[in-house]
Amino acid sequence: MADTLATKDKILSKDYLLLVLCFIMNTLFANMYMPTMTVYSKVLSGSDVYAGFMPGFFTITCVISAKIAVPIIKKLGNSKSMSLGAAILILSCFCYYSTTLIKSTNSVFMLFLARGVQGLGFGLGGTASTAAVADVVPPSRLIEGISYYTLASTIVGAIAPAWALGIVNASGYRTLFLTAFAFAFVQFIISFFIDYERKGTFEKYKRSEKIEHVDKEGKTTVTETLGRKYVLGIDTMLLLPIVIHFLTSTSQFSINSYITLSANERGMFGNTGLFYTVSAVCIFLVRIIFRNVADRHGVAVMLIPAILLQMVTMYAIGSVNTLTALIICAAPFGIAMGIIQPTMNGLFFKLADPEKRADTSAYFSMTGSLSGVVVSLITGSIAGKTGYTVLYRYNAVIYAVTFFIFLIQNSQAKKFYKRLAEHEKKMQEAKESADQIQEVSAEITAE
């Protein structure tokens, strides 16, 4: 199948818009706790150790939940799994709120329990909703649809942390927990109106790689599949994309985690928050401007320049000596990440078995979460020994390696698309043969 596709099919539908709303609620819930729970854990325990472990603990539970999500989604379906994920988030709200009611010795344990429960709900809901988006978006506009969908997290990520800190400063943590409960409850209600699975609304977008032959008696037999290979249960076509996604996500987490510390290390004191604002604006713009380029012309047209741009940007971030120059670097960083993330997500679904979208969504989610664990547990130690400036120069090397890995992956993908096109031609021939047999059978019955 050629990687150049038409873009006539419509993306917007009731289910797609509801999925975006659910994702916004889910992301709001998560981003409100990112800056506040490290502070809150220190308030409860008085320990920097607990505060430092809080982000990593949440990320680990997200990794676990993404793996657990797959069999749940296969049994319940995407929409019901999203409802269950939202219900688990509501449960976490009660756990969070209880920390304000019990003694401090027990409140720390309850806070970690709440964080773990939240990670399970967030992972399940996020995995199911992303798989659902791949179901309801036309295959010819898959990357564009995912790009709009994930754009919500960019906007929310730029607003929610500051808003959450404002709520805490103005009204305290109880109000924060009640606000989060409202978002989880709205997500829970919305999920019941996502009914494409029950109604079969997007059956025309369903794909299968099984070639079915019908004999003269009308019996159907599967005679051939695409012949995919698996390593540890992972489709071999996803192995290099997983490596690429891991490497690029690790670099992004490094920016999000250490940009302020890196600036202070070089005497660049000031409002480094502008870096996040500029990058968020650029991510938003690039996804609107280049919304369908990857679908129409192939992922390489977008990923190759984005990876090279990010390689240069990482080196520049590690080399600049003024805050103004650092903030200017946020523009190419945002442009590159605005291209890389949704394009890689779409590439996962393009290469994977269409009947295993829950697995594909889980692999993408787990890889991103694992990169966060690596940043929180490993790169911080590296930065402590070498300095944050050197860390970003290491990231430039990582992108250079990523570039060559993608060239190999792209070569493999071209061969795969050619094989898939041949396979789909056989599927079409088998379908036409089956239709002819059914027509003949109908004529004989009529006689």
Each residue's pLDDT tens digit, 247-286: 998 887 777 667 777 787 788 777 777 887 888 889 889 9
Q: Is the pLDDT of residue 173 over 80?
A: yes
Task: Say what the pLDDT of residue 424 is.
Answer: 72
Percentage of the chain modeled with pLDDT above 70: 83
Residue 186 backbone dihedrals phi, psi, to 5 degrees: -60, -45
Q: Which residue has the higher pLDDT, 153 or 139?
A: 139
Rounded distance between C-alpha atoms, residue 247 and residue 31, angstroms = 23
Compute the distance between CA of residue 366 and CA of residue 416 in angstroms, rounded to an integer.
24
CA distance 94 to 178: 9
pLDDT of residue 441: 58
- Write out the two tokens for 344: 């890689």
Same domain, 238 and 93: no
Strands 230-231 and 211-214: unpaired
Residue 295 CA: distances (Å) to CA of 7, 11, 25, 26:
8, 13, 28, 27
Angular region, 298: left φ>0, alpha ψ -120 to 50, beta rest: left
Residue 432 confidence (pLDDT): 65
Could you tell me if 296 and 279 lie in one domain? yes
For residues 171-178, average pLDDT? 93
pLDDT confidence band for 4 (50 / 70 / 90): very low
Which pLDDT value is given to residue 48? 63
The burial class, CB within 10 Å (0-12 / 13-18 / 19+), for 141 is buried
Average pLDDT over residues 111-126: 91
Weakest-pLDDT range from 42-56, 115-129, 389-403, 433-447 = 433-447
What is the pTM for the complete model shown? 0.81
Residues 3 and 29 in one domain: yes
- Greater model confidence, 433 or 218: 433
Task: Judge if 73 and 220 occupy the same domain.
Answer: no
Q: What is the mean pLDDT of the chain?
A: 83
Domain count, the chain: 2
Does 66 share its domain with 172? yes
- Average pLDDT over every residue of 167-196: 93
Q: How confident is the model at residue 436 (pLDDT cuts 50, 70, 90)?
A: low
Give dist(CA 237, CA 239) in Å, integer: 6
Shared domain for 153 and 213, answered yes or no, is: no
Over residues 13-20, the mean pLDDT reads 93
Output the pLDDT for position 211.
61
One domain, residues 258 and 167: no
3-state secondary structure 83-119: HHHHHHHHHHHHHHHHCCCCCHHHHHHHHHHHHHHHH
For residue 208, what pLDDT is reported? 62
Stretch 123-127: mean pLDDT, rounded? Answer: 91
- pLDDT of residue 186 exceeding 90, the answer is yes
Is pLDDT above 70 for 217? no
Q: Assess whether 96 and 147 both reside in one domain.
A: yes
Q: What is the pLDDT of residue 82?
A: 95
Q: Which of 259-268, 270-279, 289-298, 373-382 has the highest mean pLDDT?
A: 289-298
Q: What was the pLDDT predicted at 344?
A: 93
Check whether residue 218 and residue 192 sit in a common domain. Answer: no
The residue segments making up the domain with residue 406 are 207-447
pLDDT confidence of 12, banded at 50, 70, 90?
A: confident
pLDDT at 2 over 60: no
Is residue 172 exposed (0-12), middle (13-18) or buried (19+ Cβ within 10 Å)?
exposed
- Based on the fold, state whether residues 185 and 281 are members of the same structural domain: no
Over residues 195-220, mean pLDDT: 65
- Whether 218 has a pLDDT exceeding 60, the answer reads no
**Structural domain ending residue among the three candidates 156, 184, 202:** 202
Same domain for 240 and 383, yes or no, is yes
Q: Are residues 192 and 123 in the same domain?
A: yes
Identify the pLDDT of residue 5.
Answer: 41
Last-in-domain residue among 202, 232, 253 = 202
The domain that holds 191 is classified in CATH as 1.20.1250.20
pLDDT category at 7 given cuts 50, 70, 90 is very low
Asked if the model's pLDDT at residue 423 lies above 90, the reply is: no
Tens digit of pLDDT for each residue in 42-78?
788 776 666 667 777 887 888 888 888 999 999 999 9
Residue that terminates a domain, selected from 178, 202, 226: 202
Identify the top-confidence range among 34-38, 343-347, 440-444: 343-347
